């Protein structure tokens, strides 16, 4: 059973894996034995993140490029494959969000969110899958969201992209399953990260809302995502394809927290 979840000898690329949930998933993959390839569009925070990985005892290399630039991304993927031999696992984690009411959102900003959150994963999947198909083996993990299923104020572009990413996951799985390439997704709920720290305080309305809305009664810990990432990256998920696994403490399972009834 341990071998079923082992990632020894595997190389995992995590886009945008420089902090938060991306780093938590990357660390989970590394603990299971994977060598890490971490990407970001800016060099300095990437260098800082790579030092953190190395201090933790993980084998990690950083590559700076924009996942929405197909020409640059193609060059970098070729360089990575030349340097590391292959990419066994791709985690499409890089993403942005702009919280603006739809009525006020500029079209260029809407397009930017779609470009990073949906077109970027398409570009990276297309490029990396070529090697996976040739080897008849590979795992692609897209990072969706509860906004792949639900709407919220101020996030029309993000929800549109994440809804599209759910369907991209299903379509790529349909096309590539015959090559033994599994394409799945993780949909995180609300997690305790540095970005959410200012609102995760007693008395804050959103903090009370999340705790009250989540059947588990708490924010997620970033490490809660690691097991799901390892599962989808390992042989344990070889017959799982086109699925979105929501790691949300039960939010999507109910219209209200059962303990409130």
88 touches 138 (CB < 8 A): yes
pLDDT of residue 52: 97
pLDDT of 55 strictly over 50:
yes
53 classed as catalytic: no
* Active-site position among 53, 158, 190, 246: 158
pLDDT of residue 173: 98
pLDDT of 257 strictly over 80:
no
* Euclidean distance between CA atoms 33 and 53, whole angstroms: 13
Mean pLDDT of the chain: 95
Confidence band for 195, pLDDT divided at 50, 70 and 90 = confident
114 touches 140 (CB < 8 A): no
Confidence band for 260, pLDDT divided at 50, 70 and 90 = very low
pLDDT of 1 strictly over 80:
no
| The residue to which tokens 């299903």 are assigned | 170
Percent of the chain with pLDDT over 90: 87
- Mapped onto helix, strand or coil, the DSSP state of residue 109 is helix
* Euclidean distance between CA atoms 184 and 240, whole angstroms: 8
Tens digit of each residue's pLDDT (9 = 90 or more) over 4-46: 999 999 999 999 999 999 999 999 999 999 999 999 999 999 9
């Amino acid at each position: 059973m341990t071998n079923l979840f082992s990632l020894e000898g595997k190389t995992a690329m995590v886009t945008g894996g420089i902090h938060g949930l991306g780093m938590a998933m990357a660390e989970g993959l590394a603990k299971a034995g994977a060598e890490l390839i971490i990407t970001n569009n800016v060099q300095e925070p990437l260098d800082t993140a790579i030092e953190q990985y190395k201090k933790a005892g993980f084998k990690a290399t950083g590559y700076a490029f924009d996942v929405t630039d197909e020409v640059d991304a193609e060059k970098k993927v070729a360089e990575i494959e030349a340097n590391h031999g292959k990419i066994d696992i791709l985690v499409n984690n890089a993403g942005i969000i702009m919280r603006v009411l739809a009525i006020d959102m500029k079209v260029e900003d809407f397009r930017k969110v779609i470009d990073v959150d949906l077109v970027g994963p398409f570009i990276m999947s297309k490029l990396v899958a070529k090697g996976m198909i040739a080897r008849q083996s590979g795992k692609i993990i897209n990072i969706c969201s509860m906004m792949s299923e639900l709407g919220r104020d101020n996030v029309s572009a993000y929800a549109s992209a994440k809804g599209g990413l759910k369907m991209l996951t299903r379509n790529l799985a349909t096309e590539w399953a015959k090559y033994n390439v599994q394409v799945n997704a993780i949909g995180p709920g609300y997690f305790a990260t540095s970005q959410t720290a200012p609102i995760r305080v007693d008395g804050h309305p959103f903090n009370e809302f999340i705790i009250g809305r989540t059947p588990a009664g708490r924010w997620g810990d970033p490490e809660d995502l690691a097991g799901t990432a390892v599962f989808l990256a390992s042989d344990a998920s070889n017959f799982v394809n086109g699925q979105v696994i929501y790691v949300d403490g039960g939010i999507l399972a109910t219209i209200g927290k059962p303990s409130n009834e």
